[in-house]
Amino acid sequence: SRGDAETRKLFRDILGGALELLGSGVREAILYYATEPLDTPDYLQFAQVFREVCGRMPVMTTAVPMRDPEKMRSILRADRGPERRIHRFSLLSQEVFRQCAGCFLPEETLYVDFLPRYREGRTGLVQAGRGRMAAGLESLMTDQGTIACVSGFIVNIAERTLRLSTPCRADAQRPNGEMVSEPMAFTTAEEALCRMERICGRMRTVPEESKALALQPFLRMGDGDSFTLENPGYTRLSLEGKAAEICRILAERPACAEEICRMVSGEIPETQMTLAGLFRQGILRHEDGFDR
């Protein structure tokens, strides 16, 4: 229909503009977020537009590979050439696994990961999203901390909105394990790209002196003589000297760069360089999160 053609053109224009604005990382984008891609009847059409613009198919994860096996085959066949992607089937039961194994030939799923998402598969579940309320699955829970698997712009073509999202440790304030900006509305590709560019222009690689700094909420203060930041189950980072001194201050309360420089011993330029390094490593953040 005319509306569908307009939507695909909007998608193409935003995708092409984002490729110029943001660079080759756009080629790693996916065409869904916290949704089932095959719920979109025209998924393959949009995936083919993506391939035309970006030179490769987008990665897809589906939990309903047996809903329409022939359609699934069409999607897998459409991904051809030297840059084939690894797609994923989330298998919700042993029966679905058996159906997939019996329906698809081995060569058809050569570039497909089968992910068991049932109790017998002993696959760990994340304490985030609806998993925070799961009952009877406690033995499968892990401490991975988030179900958010992407960082960047999330563009909703249907609602004509975009927002910025990045994973963080799930908690009561961020149950899905993501820090997210307020959605911004757009009506044209030009407006969407202008909003992206404005957001990028306000991103900071060094802390602003007037803004309060804080430790990332998913990092914890460990024990010992040095200051140890712990992301449980994954990372232990021991900091010493000025870095440890700064983190001890911020473990007590947020503070701006100017205030920290007054509290930390030694030369101010050295403290400023240490602050900038901690900020670039993602250990520190502006307390108010994303710039609005």
Over residues 128-168, the pLDDT tens digits come to 666 556 666 555 556 566 777 788 999 999 999 999 998 87
Q: What is the pLDDT of residue 2?
A: 41
Structure tokens at 108: 């058809």
Residue 181 gets which letter from DSSP? Answer: P
For 178-215, the pLDDT digits (tens) are 888 889 999 999 999 999 999 888 887 788 878 899 98
Q: Any bridge partners for residue 227, and if so which? A: 239
Structural element, H or E, at residue 76? helix 69-78
CA torsion angle for 94, 43, 149, 28 (degrees, to 10)? 130
Region 263-270: mean pLDDT is 91
Cβ 260 vs Cβ 213: under 8 Å: yes
Mean pLDDT in the chain? 85
Q: Please report where in the chains the tokens 């916290």 appear, as a residue.
A: 34
Cβ 161 vs Cβ 186: under 8 Å: yes
Quick check: 18 pLDDT over 60? yes
3-class secondary structure, 59: coil
Share of the chain above pLDDT 90, in %: 54
Region 4-26: mean pLDDT is 94
3-class secondary structure, 43: helix
Q: Is the dihedral of CA 138, 141, 143, 149 positive or negative?
A: negative
Quick check: 17 pLDDT over 80? yes
Measured between alpha carbons, how far is 271 from 284 in angstroms, rounded to an integer? 14
Q: Any bridge partners for residue 228, and if so which? A: 238
Q: What is the pLDDT of residue 122?
A: 65
Neighbouring C-beta atoms of residue 199, cutoff 10 Å: 18
Q: What is the pLDDT of residue 130?
A: 61
Quick check: 36 pLDDT over 90? yes
Cβ 142 vs Cβ 115: under 8 Å: no
Share of the chain above pLDDT 70, in %: 83
Quick check: 125 pLDDT over 80? no
Measured between alpha carbons, how far is 136 from 128 in angstroms, rounded to an integer? 15
Backbone torsions φ then ψ of 91, nearest 5 degrees:
-95, 115
Neighbouring C-beta atoms of residue 245, cutoff 10 Å: 18
CA torsion angle for 90, 96, 97, 100 (degrees, to 10)? -90
C-alpha to C-alpha distances, 167 to 26, 163, 177, 181, nearest whole angstrom: 18, 13, 6, 12
Which residue type, as a one-letter code, is found at position 106?
P
CA torsion angle for 183, 188, 190, 193 (degrees, to 10)? 30
C-alpha to C-alpha distances, 262 to 28, 89, 267, 270, nearest whole angstrom: 43, 54, 10, 12
